[in-house]
Chain A
């Protein structure tokens, strides 16, 4: 091992298992399972119909294999599609919730008890297939902001869900989105009414706990005219030898003059150094800038998962709407990531910005894949893309696949790309000034990611910086 490689071996910090009584549906997938999930959630008929439509469509679809990642076949019949702790809270009280659940989230740094809550951040805590608690709901309701588990929204706000669900990511969009549409269990729902600036950060924390289960979360965020919301998601899972599937769908809708800022800190279990275990993170995320001057901004820090496959995109439909994508993706050990974005320019004078930072260490493989499409009617569209790759050690890989499709000659496109390698000389320079090898790597990597980190809400930028340090610890020495 060269001294550069000697440094990425810190155990995954969130790999513990909560020993809790769970209601787990036996493995396997068929229409009865879809009906069972719908029944457990107490859903109306229209929702079940939509699920079944998705399921029947999914049966006809094939798992995509175009991403630049390698993995064995997934047995969809070996996965349990629903797992929930038995003791769940009633209404907004945590009294009846299993204290082990409260302790679990506390251990993850997400206190959900009233007196310990993070100030200024409302949290929806999702454990396996169900939402355990959603904080500050009453406070937010004063502003007309709805923030609740999506299963609750389906029951309580069916008109909003029916109006928007599947309008950005249709039930038949792709293989994993169709699967999610059939079996999604929980996730968050946000509605910010006209002219309201959401008074606090909203966030959802996803925790996979049960073994042999998949997590299929679904999130829908609607920002009505002139509103603003900043939302953040985090996630983690126990260390297990098996691979677990996480196939989420996130839909964002921004109406006239509305802004949605969506940040992700993804820290699913990445598997061990030999590639055993870890989460398959196959996710469809898309935002629609439906209105004039609307804006959807994605920021993601992807450090976990055995395999990551996601392209948070923007459909820039409203004139003068703005799409942004800021990404840091780290692959270490045997991790693989194929991630990037899609910016689809439909409206006039639409603008998009892409800043992607890929970091590969160990035997990690990191792929940026991005599509910028300027449609015929997108007069005056602009895109700026910047893709930077950093390599640590000599056994990892970085790949870039930018697709550009311009159908309007007034478009202005800029694309910059770079690949660099953290060298002994850079590390030596910093060590010669008194920094330890770990601090030196951390400084170099943080500098590399700075343009992305500055987009994160302040509280989480610190977390991201720290997480990145942990993910790369051991890769240099």
Chain B
């Protein structure tokens, strides 16, 4: 589904990613781990098309298409979703209006009829039920006055409603207490599907106690220095990142 080859990315003239190779197939969950500043979030932002990042070299193919040639909204409409590390506030726009606009942008792209508010409410209820959440966030302005946990939960809620094929979670676990972490992880597990892939960017292993990845990659200094199964996450929890970074420098 996603094929990244030799990806080099810089921001404001500084090279952050220095040759990433990554292959993600439908139905898989990949965890990207690594120390602060290793380029994890850059990878997430670049895949979603943030304009501040410049691709210097390499390719990213999504469902056979050149992902990097698409505008952010085109990627979104083709099923690429990014759960933001820092979701922004949109004053005066309710969450439900925002989400309906997003759903309709996607539906329009697929040649489906747009949903009116009543139809949308029905769809929304179904999706919420599927992950066992209520709709308390829906009538509040987008992320305005939300706690850190509510903002992250709101991202996952959007994921549930927009039903992407490739979901990228950028440090969704940061700032969550253990209960909120479990709630979010539970929802993500419910959303795992054979035709959907997850790329989960995280600094800590604790999210992976609740979401079991198929593959764990360690990112250090802009490169993937090690890949392995779920057990690699535990190893990192025990040993930290330094042993891998030193290794990266030697090799």
Residue ranges of A at the interface with B (Cβ–Cβ < 8 Å): 3, 423-426, 428-437, 439, 443-444, 446-451
Contacts and interface: CB of A to CB of B under 8 A. Distances in A.
B90 A432 contact: no
Given A428-B72, A432-B48, A447 B102 contact: no
Interface string B58-96: 000000000000011101110001101011101111000
B178 to A, nearest CB: 27
Interface string B22-52: 0000000000000000000000000011111
26 contacts: A424-B52, A425-B88, A428-B48, A429-B87, A429-B90, A432-B81, A432-B82, A433-B98, A433-B99, A433-B102, A433-B105, A433-B158, A434-B102, A434-B105, A434-B109, A435-B102, A436-B73, A436-B105, A443-B90, A443-B98, A443-B101, A444-B90, A444-B93, A447-B91, A447-B93, A448-B92
Contacts of A450: 91-93
A434 B77 contact: yes
A426 B88 contact: yes
Contacts of B92: 446-451
B72 A431 contact: yes
B90 A431 contact: no
Contacts of B86: 425
A429 B99 CA distance: 12
A451 B49 CA distance: 33
Interface of B: 48-52, 71-73, 75-77, 81-82, 84, 86-88, 90-93, 98-99, 101-102, 105-106, 109, 141-142, 158, 162
Nearest to B83: A432
Contact of A446 (B49, B73, B75, B93): B93
Interface centre among B50, B73, B86, B102 (most CB of A within 10 A): B73
B150 to A, nearest CB: 16
Nearest to A388: B91
Nearest to B91: A447
Contacts of A448: 91-92
B105 A435 contact: yes
A447 B90 CA distance: 7
Nearest to B73: A431
Interface centre among A424, A431, A448, A451 (most CB of B within 10 A): A431
A443 B102 contact: no
B73 A437 contact: yes
Interchain residue pairs A-B with the least CB separation, the first 10: A447-B92, A434-B105, A450-B92, A447-B93, A433-B102, A431-B72, A434-B76, A431-B73, A429-B88, A426-B88
Contacts of B81: 432
A435 B104 CA distance: 9
A426 B76 CA distance: 15
Contacts of B77: 434
A444 B89 CA distance: 10
B90 A434 contact: no
A59 B75 CA distance: 65
Contact of B90 (A3, A430, A436, A449): A430
Given A432-B48, A451-B92, 15 more contacts: A3-B51, A424-B52, A428-B50, A429-B88, A430-B98, A431-B73, A431-B76, A432-B49, A433-B162, A434-B73, A434-B76, A435-B73, A437-B73, A446-B93, A448-B92
A432 B82 CA distance: 7
A161 B7 CA distance: 77
A433 B92 CA distance: 18
Nearest to A435: B105
A445 to B, nearest CB: 9
A449 to B, nearest CB: 7
A430 B142 CA distance: 11
Contact of B51 (A424, A429, A443, A451): A424
A424 B51 CA distance: 8
A433 B99 CA distance: 8
A435 to B, nearest CB: 5
Nearest to B45: A428
Interface centre among A433, A435, A444 (most CB of B within 10 A): A433
A428 B50 CA distance: 7
Contact of A432 (B52, B76, B91, B98): B76
A439 B71 CA distance: 14
A437 B73 CA distance: 8
Contacts of A424: 51-52
Contacts of B90: 426, 429-430, 443-444, 447
Given A431-B71, A434-B76, A447 B141 contact: yes
A3 B51 CA distance: 9
A3 B71 CA distance: 13
Nearest to B82: A432
A92 B19 CA distance: 78
Contact of A439 (B50, B101, B158, B162): B101
